[in-house]
A and B are shown apart, each in its own frame.
Chain A
Amino acid sequence: METDRIDPLEDFVGLSAVLTGFETAELHGTGLVESHYKTILDILGERIFGRLLLTWRQIRESEANDVDFDVRKKILENSLLGPVARNILVLWYTGNWNQMPGEWRDQYGAAAGDRTRVVSAAAYRQGLVWRAVLAHPPAAKQPGFGSWTPPPEGADEIDDEWRQ
């Protein structure tokens, strides 16, 4: 069977990288690849999650020169896969799984595990949103005393007594 030859975890990371705008190495660095994969699989089941990964794999293998365009067309604008991909993206960014939209559930079926929640403390701490906005998650990865005073990346120094 075709599915025997694919490495679904690698497909998951590859798709996640395109969705999130982070490198696959950065995603591996969160330590969450496997647990996110498992969380999503538990919630959505093999049929839907497998379909998403298969679609991604076809995009990747087609060697299309605009992967983003294909991901938008074939995944994000697809009524089954779009809401799933967006939920996965939000999961990576925040650590929260949001319940699938009501209309989606009416059409593709509800699942007991599909509840809005923080999937784990680690998922909260590793939320990519904090890195994207040049910050750190509240109550974790604290950057140290006084780290808030100098300019953030890309901002100008200010000429005052706190100038370093």
Chain B
Amino acid sequence: MSGGNDGNTPRSNQQGSAESSEGGVTLASPVTRAHPAAAERIYDVVIVGAGVAGAILAKELAGAGKTVLLLEAGRATSIRPEGYASYVETFYEALAKTPNSPFPQNPAAASSSVLFQQRPREGVPVTTGYQVYKYRKPCQGPSESGLPFLSTFTRALGGTTLHFLGTCIRMLPEDFHLATLFGHGIDWPFGFETLEPFYEKGELEMGTAADVAMQEREGTKFRPGYQYPMRQIPPSYFDRWLEDRIRGMTFKMGNESFPVEVVGTPAGRNGMPNPGYRYPKEHPLAGQPYQPIGSPYDTRRGQRCEGNSNCVPICPVMAKYNALRTLYTLQPKTSRNLEIITQAVASQIELAEDGKVSGIVCKLYDVETGSQYVKFTARGQVYVVAAHAIESAKLLLASGAANSSDMVGRNLMDHPYLLTWGLAPKGARLGVNRGPQITSELPMRHGSFRKDFAAFRADIRNRGWDFAKGSPYWDVGMLVNDEQRFGLSLRDELRDRVQRQISFGFQIEQLPDPDNRVEIDDKYRDALGNHRPILSYDVSEYTRKAMRVARDLSRSVIEHVGGKDHTEYPKRPKEAVGYIDVGGEPFEIHGSGHIMGTHRMGLRRSDSVVNPDQRTWDHRNLFLVGCGNMPTVGTSNPTLTVAALAFKAAKAIKKQLES
């Protein structure tokens, strides 16, 4: 054991707390760096992972009087406002402004990064970054190399929501029955109705701004009379411009004709409170109108989105939800029952003879780059792993836990992200680069076409060709270096071109496929000696077919508004990490950041890892919570569904503890 020390050596106890009580919400955080007393205690619940899933569970269970220990692998840089501000500064100074650019790499608890993604070849895995990408033969097209898994996550207190976009959208009722209705994937073990009350809790926790009537038109369901806490975030000028020009447009898919409509995207982003909203009766503010929570460090900040246009990768004013809000806005009672230990990497789930979990072995580290750590075993009545889909699966595999179905790590899914782009007619000004990155979408979420190809939603991107080309820096480079422009000619041309940039980002449903998976191998370990995840990934024909449809839809829309399509994908696998063949034509995909399916929920222990309570079939006192539980993924960004599932799991855990 390299440099390890098995004793539960007391460690520095740097208590950090942010306390204030403005605006009716008490802000307090129980984060400690490492807690000597934690080693002696038996908690009601031990939770691994302080992302949104772990945070909601911790808050719910501690709020219900249970003693909770929350173990977090990353650092608590954000415990102080200066720490969070340093993330923003780091972003400013980062050359590649990738999703993880604000968060310094931490070899003891590494995050995945798009910068290390390369295409694996047969027998030649990509091992340069933290994640290992293993070859899987593509189901279509050239096979000399395969896709790496394209999405990433963040390991720091608060988890991946630190850099998520904030889209908070419910799954559709039909998404829960994909197999029965459309003959693909499998059904969820319960229907939409079961999750509906928990969606409401999630929407409150994540401070969601959206419009019920607009969502209902898309096929979403709500309790009669329900309202979102906040009104829809105002649309961008581009949304309005597009809506104005495509009014009445239809698009034919399969045998059906669909209206093409601009629909506001629900978001965990602060807007105008909905005057009709009242806190529910179990809430401390029951019956009162909604009050947006912005920055937990200073409640006066971030009560409204200020239009920083930077939700990914970091909102400087915290007008967008992230899990720090759940962790830092605790009632005093909750605070008392909760301990959070950061820089504690869960490394092994300890199993007892009776099949129950008896502890979680953590490695506590000081110096991220070394191999020095202290081991500590956390003990509780009930254990929850909420370390996000890849890390949770990896921890289970490394511990030989919960895998009697052989489903742990399998069915890894994303929403492959297809970008398209074009230019609006000369003279148009679309208001590009203002407001949240996405405020509206073009949805193609439901219909009988789902028998033939995958459903999708197209982000209407408010930042022109930023993702597609790296605009507006890309345009500067083109105009200055290639076209030799300077002065006013540069300035005017730059404005006119960028203001005409149209871009859509299609998030396409992907089916569960057991060969898309997370594995481990003793060969690949990180600085602390923990396994590094090995990922194999491909995209099936069902999803590829939808890419062609999406591409056609985009072209039709751009032409309908009098613009010109400029979408062009690299011709060969060598030229793009996300190269993908669609019926002989080259396309390129990116990740949506949605990592799902790796420990799915089901009705039978033979083909699922957890039951509808999200308890593992194999260990009575072990629960798993997070996107890994999703049997299929529909067209919704997963986090609201994960929040709802976390509330549902909290209820089941409470019941189990009390029985």
* A and B interact: yes
* Given A21-B487, A133-B432, A148-B434, also A94-B476 (CB < 8 A): yes
Contact across chains for B481 and A86 when beta carbons are under 8 A apart: yes
Among B94, B306, B431, B491, the residue within 8 A (CB) of A144 is: B306
How many angstroms between the C-alpha atoms of A138 and B499 in the bound complex? 16
* Given A93-B476, A94-B473, A96-B95, also A152-B499 (CB < 8 A): yes
Nearest CB in chain B: distance from A133 CB, A: 4
Contact across chains for B480 and A89 when beta carbons are under 8 A apart: yes
Nearest CB in chain A: distance from B316 CB, A: 5
**B477 in contact (CB, < 8 A):** yes
Binary flags per residue of B258-288, CB closer than 8 Å to A gives 1, else 0? 0000000000000100000000000000000
Contact across chains for A120 and B93 when beta carbons are under 8 A apart: yes
Among A21, A72, A94, A160, the residue within 8 A (CB) of B488 is: A21
Selecting from B19-27, B139-147, B307-315, B344-352, the interface stretch reads B307-315
**A124 in contact (CB, < 8 A):** yes
Nearest CB in chain B: distance from A3 CB, A: 25
**A43 in contact (CB, < 8 A):** no
Contact across chains for B499 and A134 when beta carbons are under 8 A apart: yes
Q: In A112-164, which residues have CB < 8 Å from any B CB?
A: 116-118, 120-121, 124-125, 129-130, 132-136, 138-140, 142-155, 158-160, 162
Q: Which residues of A contact B271 (CB under 8 A)?
A: 145
How many angstroms between the C-alpha atoms of A19 and B84 in the bound complex? 37
Which one of B309, B310, B477, B484 has the highest number of Cβ atoms from chain A below 10 Å of its Cβ?
B309
Among residues of A, the one whose C-beta sits closest to the C-beta of B308 is: A142
**A59 in contact (CB, < 8 A):** no
Among B92, B309, B480, B489, the residue within 8 A (CB) of A121 is: B92
Q: In B447-462, which residues have CB < 8 Å from any A CB?
A: 462
Q: Which residues of B contact A159 (CB under 8 A)?
A: 244
Contact across chains for A160 and B243 when beta carbons are under 8 A apart: yes
How many angstroms between the C-alpha atoms of A140 and B304 in the bound complex? 15
Q: Which residues of B contact A89 (CB under 8 A)?
A: 480, 486, 490
Contact across chains for B431 and A148 when beta carbons are under 8 A apart: yes
Nearest CB in chain A: distance from B111 CB, A: 19
Q: In B85-100, which residues have CB < 8 Å from any A CB?
A: 88-89, 91-95, 97
Contact across chains for B429 and A132 when beta carbons are under 8 A apart: no
How many angstroms between the C-alpha atoms of A125 and B187 in the bound complex? 49
How many angstroms between the C-alpha atoms of A7 and B408 in the bound complex? 69
* Given A129-B476, A149-B234, also A117-B95 (CB < 8 A): yes
Nearest CB in chain B: distance from A62 CB, A: 18
Binary flags per residue of B66-94, CB closer than 8 Å to A gives 1, else 0? 00000000000000000000001101111
Nearest CB in chain A: distance from B271 CB, A: 7
Q: Which residues of A contact B486 (CB under 8 A)?
A: 18-21, 68, 71-72, 76, 85, 89
Nearest CB in chain B: distance from A25 CB, A: 16
Contact across chains for A152 and B309 when beta carbons are under 8 A apart: no
How many angstroms between the C-alpha atoms of A89 and B243 in the bound complex? 38
* Given A21-B487, A96-B473, also A139-B316 (CB < 8 A): yes
B-side interface size class: 35 or more
Among residues of A, the one whose C-beta sits closest to the C-beta of B487 is: A21
Which one of B314, B481, B486, B499 has the highest number of Cβ atoms from chain A below 10 Å of its Cβ?
B486
Contact across chains for B95 and A148 when beta carbons are under 8 A apart: no
Contact across chains for A118 and B93 when beta carbons are under 8 A apart: yes
**B236 in contact (CB, < 8 A):** yes
How many angstroms between the C-alpha atoms of A48 and B282 in the bound complex? 71
**B167 in contact (CB, < 8 A):** no
Which one of A85, A136, A142 has the highest number of Cβ atoms from chain B below 10 Å of its Cβ?
A142
Among B433, B436, B439, B499, the residue within 8 A (CB) of A130 is: B433
Q: Which residues of B contact A124 (CB under 8 A)?
A: 92-93
Q: List 11 extra interface pairs beyond A139-B315, A148-B234, CB under 8 A.
A: A72-B486, A76-B484, A89-B490, A90-B480, A120-B93, A138-B309, A143-B306, A148-B431, A149-B435, A155-B431, A158-B240
Q: List 14 A-B contacts (CB under 8 A).
A: A19-B487, A21-B487, A117-B95, A129-B494, A130-B472, A132-B472, A132-B491, A133-B494, A136-B309, A138-B433, A139-B88, A147-B307, A152-B430, A155-B237
What 5 A-B pairs come out closest when comparing CB atoms?
A148-B435, A135-B433, A121-B92, A21-B491, A155-B429
Interface on A for B, CB 8 Å cutoff?
18-22, 68, 71-72, 76, 85-86, 89-90, 93-94, 96, 116-118, 120-121, 124-125, 129-130, 132-136, 138-140, 142-155, 158-160, 162
